[in-house]
Structure formats: structure tokens, C-alpha cells
Structure 1
Amino acid sequence: MHRDDIEFDSEGTTVRGWLYRPEGTGDVPAVVLAGGWCYVRELVMPYYAEAFAAAGMAALVFDYRNLGSSDGEPRQHLDPWAQIRDYQNALSFLERTDGVDSDRLGAWGISYSGGHVLVLGATDPRVKAIVSQIPVVDGYRNMRRVHGTLGYRRLWQAILEDRRLRAREPGKRTYLPHASESPETELSAWPFPETRRTFAELQRTEAPRYENSSTMESVDLLLNYDVGPFVSRLYDTPTLMLVAEGDDLTLWDLEIESYNRIPTAKKKLAVLPGTSHMTLYSDRAKLTLAADEASRWFAAHLLGHGANPRS
């Protein structure tokens, strides 16, 4: 396989990524990949892209607008609907890319983007197969659960203060950490010490562009994020959901609830044993297990390797 630097326009902003191509000639299927909260393209996703390329598919990994190598302001601002449009524009880029079969495109997402690809598959018929891994499915319920009552009060007050600041002084905004080592005393979007430690190590070893920060408005937007109205539209799109057995960050029970609302018979739930949300980043054995599941799903539904829709 080989990897090319690419860029494309997304609503007037230059978005940059990597296109992985398998060996050989001829048009091949392609999968588009993007990350979760504050992720940059170097963070874990290349492992999945390489697995898909090894299976005979192209893979496009990109940084959303406002993050990493892509342009866009304000930096570290996460608008989920803008990110979904970045996915759509990545599909449009793949459609006009030589060597890519535009009729065989898939979408992969993890954590926040695990929810994005469910919305994308429901709203964009170009997506012919989906892998949704440990997805965020309901921002409001997720935030209420992980912050707890007192923590959520602090979070809500900070959001209101940010709204007032942006109304009073346009152009100004507040920021908060992605995660904190001391969530009892430091407000963060995702109040888990293991998240902070894992991403700090990934920043040190493979993703130097990662920043432990987002706009406060990003969390405000998360509270209105809900894939519920969209999953019921997935009536004929092959959909694999990968759930970590011990996931209390994006909440395995909410994920399975969403999975059960997907009407297509061409769906599969894979519960990864002995895992948590963060071990799918820190433990390469767990990551390999997830990548293998995803590769088999895309191979079955984009390459035609396996006729069983639940394989």
C-alpha cells in the first residue's frame, strides 16, 4: 500500500488528509475515516486505514475543519453538523478520485464520529456500508451521566457564561480541557483521568498535533446532539456497531439502545470482551480486534467477500 497527502474544499475551508491505496490496479472501494472529540488524523486512525488497505480497499483519513492540519477558525471548535458535512465532502472527493469506485464507498467512525457515521449513512445514499465504533449517540444523556448532578451543574453554568460572553463580545469565547487528571476540581468536557493520560501518551508518541482543548461552545453543541432521529432511517445500509464491554464513557447501554432502533436486517452488534472505551486506544491487541472486525465488515459489503449480511 502507499499513502498520499490530499486536500479538498469543505464549505470554503481547506481540509487535509491522507489517502491510503492498496496494491494493484483498477478501481477499488474506499472508506472514509475521521475521529472523535479533538482527534487529529495521526491518532489511532492510521491503524484502521492500513488494515482496510491491506484488505484491498482505499481509505481516506482526514482532519476536520478547525483541527490538526486542516484550516478553519476558531481552532479547536467542534461543530458536529459541520463535521458531518466534512464527511460528505470527503465522499465527494473520493467520487472524483482516480482508482476509486464511487459506487462502493463506506464510512467508519469512532466515539463522536461513531455517531456521525450513523447520521451520514442515514442522510447520504453514497454510503454503502457503515462501521460505528463506541459511538456517542445522545450528547445530553451522555453528559448528564458522566458529569453527575453536581458536575453537570458546573458544566451548565460554564456554558451559560460562555453564551453571555459571545453575545457581549463577539469573537471571544472560552475553552475547557478535553479531559482532566483532576475532574473533581477542574472542569473538562469528558471528566475521566484515564482519557487525559491516554491522549497525553498518544500526543507524545504519535499525534503531536492533538490538543487537550475545545471551545466551550463545542460542549454546548454536544448537548443537542442525538442520532435517534436518524438511526431509524438505516433501513437497507449494512451497519456494524462495535461496543466495548466496559464502556462507561460513551455508555454501552445507550449504544445498544440505538443499535436496536436500526431497522435494517443487514446489521451486526459486536461486543468486544474485556475492553473499555480507552483500551481501544491504549491496548494494541484490542485495537487489532476492532480493526479486524471492521475490515471483515467492509470486505463483505464493499468487496463482496462473504454473502452473509451478518458476517
Structure 2
Amino acid sequence: MERQDVVFNANGVMLAGWLYRPPQAPPRHPLIVMSHGFSAVMAMGLADYAEAFARAGYGCLIYDHRNYGQSGGWPRHETDPWQQVEDMRAAVSFARTLPFVDRDRVGLWGTSYAGGHVLTVGALDKRVRCLVAQVPLVSGQRTFDSWVPADRRARFMERLLADRDRRAEGLPPGTTPAALPGSETEEWAKAVDRTGAYQNVVTLRSLELLRTYEPIAFVERIAPTPLLMVVADRDTQTPVAWQHEAFALAGEPKRLVSLPGRHYDPYMGLLSQSIDAALAWFAEHLK
């Protein structure tokens, strides 16, 4: 299959991506816009999904979020959810300009943090035909509280506010590791970072911005766009109970696929199952 390096303008920042075309593609074919989680880059396993989707007849556009990987943007390693939502919509716009793409058959696939973006964009942008949200973040505030223990939260909040003051003084943004030693995230990053692209750092403001982001608030507005949620039944990174709560709010058509594992298992040991679930949904609603 053909893979092409591309760049496109997303709200004033040039984003880098890989564009896949299916073998023996018709003149116009459907395309899936794909993006990764909180601090991950596209080189960390997204090609596994894109290649499988392309073999099944779909074009795929995967890209690095602004401030990460090969994409532009500043501050580096800052995850702003609302900028990423707008960038996902810009990726949809770019895809619809491609001469070999059927403009009316553009889907979204996102995982973890970008799974939350799929829910949000799916509610806001009806140009999108079909949605797959894998182990999605649904509540930034609750996720932040689950990541930062209650006995450390007040002190951590002081650190976030002090970072605001330092930035106002012209000092560099404060940062913190995204994957802590011995964590599930570190285990996954070491397994999938085949090129050494992952730098394991986010700005402190990324965590403050996480607290402002609630994809669950948009779920009721997704229908009638078809929604598949792929969840892991032992997910504690973006706790699975909240994902079930979000799914219950969604209108039809929708489907929930529950896989037996932790948050990152759909990327690794359960990769073929997560790919098959997405392909079945795209075959039903995009192809």
C-alpha cells in the first residue's frame, strides 16, 4: 500500500501526518482520520491500525498533535484539548480536499485522549460520517482526580498556579513526566516506541487544561452519527465505568465492544480484536 508524508494547516500550525491509500483503490474512497492519546505520537503504533484499515479499502490520515512529534506548535509537549479538537476538525477539512477521497465518507478513529476528541467532534461536526472511540477519556476533571491522589492534590494545584506566574514572567513552561517509572503507561510506551520518538514529557499546563475538558457533555448530541466505543474492562487510566456512563447517554446507532484487559491492551495483546471491531463498524456505516 502507498504511504505518503503530508503536512496540513490546522488553525495556523502545520501538522505532520502519514496518508495511506488502499491498494487497488477506486477513484474515490472513504477515509478515516486517526489520532493518538495524551502525549503519544503517531509513530507509537498508529501505523498498525492504519495499515489494517487501508488493506480493507479505506484511506487513512494519521497525524501528530500540535506541539508533538513532527508537527509544529509551541509550547512543545503541551496538550490543549480544545486546540486538538479544532485540529481534528482541520484534519477532516484537509481530508475532504483530497481528490481521491469521497467527501461524504470521512470517519474518525481516536484512542484515549483522542477518543474523547472523537466524541466531541462527532457531536459538533456533522461532516463526519462514522465514529470509533477507543478507551476514550470522557471526563477530564474526574480523570485528573484519579491520577492525582487526594492527599497530594492541593500541593499539586499550587504547583500548577505557580507555573502560570512563571510563564507570565517569561520563564519556560514547567514540565513533568507523562509516564511515571513503573507505570502502565511506561510499560506501553517502551513496548510500542520502536523509533525512540517518544520524549515522555508534558507541560504542567497540560494537566490543568485536562481538568477543563468534559467530552461526556457532548455525547447526547452525537446521534444520528454512528458511534462505536471500544473499551477495556479493567481500564483504570480512563476508568471504564465512566466510559459505560457516556455510552448510555449516546443515541442510536451505537455499539459497545468490551475487551478483557487494561487501558493499553487494545494497542498490544488485543490489537487484532480492537482492529476487527473498528473494521466491522466501518464496514457497516462508512464503506
Question: Which blocks of at least 5 consecutive residues in structure 2 are unaligned?
Answer: none
TM-score (norm 1): 0.89
Contact 1:137–1:226 (8 Å) recurs in 2:
yes
- Structure 2 distance, partners of 1:294, 1:99, is 22
Residues 1:210 and 1:99: Cα distance change in structure 2 (over 3 Å): same
1:271 aligns with 2:258: yes
Alignment of 1:214 with 2:202, yes or no, is yes
Map 1:13-28 onto structure 2 (within 5 A).
Answer: 13-24=13-24, 25-28=26-29
Deviation at 1:153, TM superposition (A): 3.0
Q: Is the 8 A contact 2:259 2:266 kept in 1?
A: no
Over 3 Å off, 4+ runs: none
Which residue of 2 is the match for residue 136 of structure 1? 137
Q: 1:258 corresponds to which residue?
A: 246
2:189 corresponds, among 185, 199, 210, to 199
Structure 1's unaligned 5+ residue stretches are: 183-192, 304-311
Q: 2 CA distance for matches of 1:152 and 1:6?
A: 41
Superposition deviation, residue 74 in structure 1: 1.0
Percent identity of the aligned residues? Answer: 38
Do residues 230 (structure 1) and 230 (structure 2) align?
no
Superposition deviation, residue 146 in structure 1: 3.0
In the TM superposition, residue 55 of structure 1 has moved relative to its aligned partner by: 1.1
In the other structure, the counterpart of 1:172 is: 172
Partner SS for 1:126 = coil
TM-superposed CA distance for 1:150, in Å, is 1.6
CA contact (8 A) 2:266 2:273 kept: no
Which stretch shows the higher mean deviation, 155-164 or 106-115?
155-164
Q: Are positions 1:246 and 2:234 aligned together?
A: yes
Pairwise CA distance, 1:152: 2.5
Contact kept? 1:40, 1:207, Cα under 8 Å: no
Q: Which amino acid aligns with 2:185?
A: T
Q: Bigger shift: 143-152 or 4-13?
A: 143-152
Q: Which residue of 2 aligns with 1:287?
A: 271
Residues 51 and 292 of structure 1 are in contact (CA less than 8 Å); yes or no, is this contact kept in structure 2? Answer: no
What does residue 96 of structure 1 align with? Answer: 97
Q: Which amino acid aligns with 2:165?
A: R
Residues of 2 paired with 1:147 and 1:26: CA distance? Answer: 50
The number of residues matched between the two structures is 286
Whole-angstrom CA distance in 1 between matches of 2:69 and 2:36: 11
CA deviation vs aligned residue, 1:237-295 (integer Å, no higher than 9, x gap)? 000001101101100000110111112x200011112x111222342xx0111011001
Distance of aligned partners of 1:297 and 1:207 in 2 relative to their CA distance in 1, 3 Å threshold: farther
**Over residues 133-190 of structure 1, what are the superposed CA-to-partner deviations in whole Å (9 max), with x where a residue is unaligned?**
00111011112123221233343222122122223x13531000102116xxxxxxxx
Q: Distance in 2 between the 1:223 and 1:102 partners?
A: 34
Matched, 1:70 2:68: no
Letter in structure 2 aligned against 1:250: T
TM-score by length of 2: 0.96
Contact 2:108/2:128 (CA < 8 Å) preserved in 1? yes
- Is structure 2 residue 150 aligned with structure 1 residue 149? yes
SS across alignment from 1:127: coil
Distance of 1:212 and 1:27 partners within structure 2? 39
- Distance in 1 (CA, whole Å) between partners of 2:175 and 2:118 is 26
Q: Deviations over 1:20-45 (max 9, x none)?
A: 11112320000000111111111111
